[in-house]
Amino acid sequence: MDTSWFVVLSAFIFCIGAAGVMTRRSPLVVLLCLELMLNAGNLALVAFSRMLGNQDGQIFALVVMVVAACEVVIGLGIIVGMFRRRLPIDVDEMSELRG
Amino acid sequence: MFFEQVLFFIAGFGAIAGALGVAMLRNPFYSVLALVSHLIALAVLFLLLRADFLAAAQVVVYAGAVMVLYVFVVAYVGGSDTPLRPTEGGLVNAFGPLAAAAIFVEITVAVVGSSLSGLGGTGPDVDARFGSPESIGDLLLTRFLLPFEAASLLLLLAAVGAVVLSRKRRGLEDLDTPREVAG
């Protein structure tokens, strides 16, 4: 398959994720859509790494996966904290992080 | 070659369907399940791109560990059925997909109109070691040792941060009471 197919597919997935981040209200789903965007970036990185015959892009994608895992852990921790304080689980209501 | 194309289209449609499911399903629990199927389809695409180790890490770390975390939190917080399009702020919500479509058109035009000659081909022939755990580990421990250590430090920070965020804070009530007395 040509590299451009993979890149266009990655752009499509990225845009689905971006639309989800902009329209959904539940922070859980916003985090899931962020995962979609990061994964689309990963797909582009791996596709370009294959195009160049160079494995550096795969290492980069691995680091992106680590960063995504950290972001998920902290984001879910904040959501659990909001739930414990009986705060509304809604990104529109959530305008400050002060405990 | 033909087999590769068939596999690309199957996995590509799977990935797009999973992504649409994540963004559009009402119940967050189903969104998580859609993301799992999306990640597995993406791992197949990684295999097509000769990223064997990354595909395995994707399935084990992402679809395995991270998604289990999501499922636990959704079960804890409660998969409340949030309306897809709230009535108020309809203009802003219509703007989101429009902006996303604009980004997609822009990236596609940039890719198609790009003068990058490698985009039209599958890339150079690579040997069997390309993307294998052996060569990735070799790179991680020689050329990319510093990013590797930085990533491990970041994971440690995230673990500590998660513990701090999710512990029970008994001190807060003690802190709040004197403040009310003083006020």
Contact assignment for B123 to A3 by CB distance below 8 Å: yes
Whether B91 is covered by a domain: the verdict is: no
Residues of A in contact with B97 (CB under 8 A): 19, 22-23
* DSSP string of B47-79, one letter each residue: HHTT-HHHHHHIIIIIIIIIHHHHHHHHHHH--
Contact A69, B66 (CB under 8 A): yes
Q: In this structure, how many other beta carbons lie within 10 angstroms of the beta carbon of residue A85?
A: 10
Whether B174 is covered by a domain: the verdict is: no
| Domain match, B61 and B4 both | yes
A61 touches chain B (CB under 8 A): yes
Question: pLDDT tens, A21-63?
Answer: 888 888 889 999 999 999 999 999 999 999 888 899 999 999 9
Angle between helices A56-84 and B67-77 (to 10 degrees): 10
Of the candidates A25, A77, A79, the beta carbon closest to that of B82 is on A25
Burial class from Cβ neighbours inside 10 Å (0-12, 13-18, 19+) for residue B119 reads buried
Whether B32 is covered by a domain: the verdict is: yes
| Domain match, B76 and B1 both | yes
pLDDT at B181: 46
- In chain A, where the domains are located: 3-84
Decide which of B165 and B179 is more confident: B165
pLDDT at B46: 94
What's the pLDDT band for B180 if we cut at 50, 70, 90?
very low
- Domain tally for chain B? 2
Q: Which chain A residue lies closest to B97 (C-alpha atoms)?
A: A19
Whether B132 is covered by a domain: the verdict is: yes
Of the candidates A2, A39, A69, the beta carbon closest to that of B119 is on A2
Contact A74, B161 (CB under 8 A): yes
Question: pLDDT tens, B5-43?
Answer: 999 999 999 999 999 999 888 888 899 999 999 999 999
Separation between Cα atoms, residue B33 and residue B74, nearest integer Å? 11
Last residue of a domain, one of B13, B47, B80: B80
Residue B80, pLDDT > 50, answer: yes
CATH label of the domain that carries residue B14? 1.20.120.1200
| A3-84, CATH topology level | Helix Hairpins (1.10.287)
Instruction: Please state the ipTM of this predicted complex.
Output: 0.91
Contact assignment for B49 to A62 by CB distance below 8 Å: no
Whether B140 is covered by a domain: the verdict is: yes
Contacts of B93 (CB under 8 A, 6+ apart): A23, B85, B86
pLDDT at B141: 93
Count CA atoms closer than 13 A to B107's CA, side-chain side. 20
Look up the domain containing B153 and give its range.
128-169
pTM, rounded to two decimals: 0.86
